Amino acid sequence: MDWMLLLKVLAIYFFILFLLKFMGKREIGQLSLFDFVVVLLIADIAVIGAEDGSVPFYMTLLSILLLGVIQKILAVILLKVKPIRDFFDGKESIIMIDGKLNVKEMKKQSYNVDDLIVQMRIKNIRSLSEIKYAVLEANGEISIFKFKDFPSRDPKTKTTTAHNPTGKTDGGYDAASAPEEIYPFPLIVSGKIHKDNLKLLNLSEDWLRKEIKKKGYQSEKEILYANYENKKLFIIETCNF
């Protein structure tokens, strides 16, 4: 009986290994809430199948396979339909905007200042005053962008200066040597316009559609990814090898 258990464990191991490859690298590289539930269910079914002799072993493998097939089908749907992707995978939340805490969003996500400070220290950031944007990703990780990554221009002197939260004179330098102004909020993903990000950057849909046409596209549906960089719309090109 012990040998049978070992054979079951060995069979389940290789079966799940091949199933994960079928489901795609996303399962390993990016474990979303939806992926996490699938992995938990697979683990529970595997344990039951290995220990419970009253359940035919092939039913265990079929159950695991069914979960893998469902996940694969949903992954294709999620790739095409953003509202469904947001529902299953979750959506990022902006918890710091221009150095200000977004208290409403933090309460909504049950995320407190202590959580932010811990993540800040892990990323070797000494103070909240260094942070311009903080984004709580769908998988629970936090992405932090510092003020120093975004140059600020003085309209009187026409110089570009780095942000200095202490208020002391930091001096100006030529705009050509300033860091690129690349915002971490995509405007178009998988053919869908992110209206919240447009609003955050004080941009309009009319401006976006005009820029899309200037770059030779008829609609946002033709664009896989577009971002706002250096006061311009940046559209990533695609290729098929």
* CATH (domain of 159): 3.30.240.20
- Strand 159-161 vs strand 152-154: parallel, antiparallel, or unpaired? antiparallel
Same domain, 51 and 111: no
CA dist 3 and 8 (Å) reads: 9
Which pLDDT value is given to residue 155?
42
Question: Residue 117: inside a domain, yes or no?
Answer: yes
Which pLDDT value is given to residue 63?
87
Q: Exposure of 141 by Cβ count < 10 A (0-12 exposed, 13-18 middle, 19+ buried)?
A: exposed
CA dist 36 and 30 (Å) reads: 10
| pLDDT per residue as tens digits for the range 88-106 | 767 788 898 888 889 898 8
Question: Residue 109: inside a domain, yes or no?
Answer: yes
The long-range contacts involving 183-186, CB below 8 angstroms and separated by at least 24 positions, are 183/133, 183/227, 183/228, 183/229, 184/133, 184/135, 184/143, 184/145, 185/94, 185/133, 185/227, 185/228, 186/225, 186/226, 186/227
Express the helix, strand and coil content of the chain in percent, nearest 5 each. Answer: 50, 15, 35
Question: Residue 22: inside a domain, yes or no?
Answer: yes
Same domain, 54 and 107: no
Which pLDDT value is given to residue 240?
61
- Number of structural domains in the chain: 3
Segments of the chain with pLDDT less than 70? 1-2, 23-33, 89, 151-180, 240-241
CA dist 136 and 146 (Å) reads: 15
Domain boundary among 127, 149, 177: 177
Domain with 231, as residue range(s), is 188-235
Question: Residue 241: inside a domain, yes or no?
Answer: no
Same domain, 75 and 97: no
CA dist 123 and 148 (Å) reads: 15
Same domain, 104 and 54: no
DSSP state letter for 170: -
Question: Residue 206: inside a domain, yes or no?
Answer: yes
Which pLDDT value is given to residue 234?
92
Rounded (5°) CA angle 33-29-222: 85
Question: Residue 208: inside a domain, yes or no?
Answer: yes
Closest to 26 in 3D by CA, of 55, 68, 57, 65: 68
Q: How many CB atoms lie within 10 A of CB 166?
A: 8
CA dist 199 and 118 (Å) reads: 29
Question: Residue 107: inside a domain, yes or no?
Answer: yes
Question: Residue 240: inside a domain, yes or no?
Answer: no
Same domain, 143 and 202: no
Same domain, 31 and 71: yes
Rounded (5°) CA angle 151-156-160: 20
Which pLDDT value is given to residue 175?
41
**What SS3 state is found at 191?**
coil
Which pLDDT value is given to residue 169?
42
Closest to 198 in 3D by CA, of 210, 186, 182, 215: 186
